[in-house]
Amino acid sequence: MEYEYKVIDVADGAISSALLGEGRIETAVLEAYLNAMAAEGWRMVFMANVLQRHLVVSDRETLMVTFERRIPEAEREARAQRVIDDIIVAEDQSRSVGRKAAAGAAGLVVGSAVLGAILSSSGEE
Provide the 3-class DSSP secondary structure of residue 56: coil
**Identity (one letter) of the amino acid at 65?**
V
Query: What's the pTM?
Result: 0.63
Phi/psi region, residue 55 (left: phi>0; alpha: psi -120 to 50; beta: rest), is left
- Tell me what pLDDT residue 45 has: 96
**Domain layout of the chain by residue ranges:** 1-70, 75-125
68 burial (CB, 10 Å; 0-12 / 13-18 / 19+) is: middle
- Tell me what pLDDT residue 53 has: 65
- Tell me what pLDDT residue 27 has: 84
- Tell me what pLDDT residue 18 has: 47
CA 2 remoteness from chain centre: 27
pLDDT in tens, the chain (125 residues): 799 999 998 887 654 444 555 556 778 888 999 999 999 999 999 999 887 766 555 667 788 999 999 999 999 999 888 888 888 888 888 887 766 666 665 555 556 666 666 667 765 55
- Tell me what pLDDT residue 55 has: 58
Element (H, E) at 29: helix 27-39
- Helix, strand, coil shares, percent, the chain, to 5: 60, 25, 15
Q: What distance in Å separates the CA atoms of residue 72 and residue 77, rounded to the nearest whole number?
A: 10
- Tell me what pLDDT residue 93 has: 85
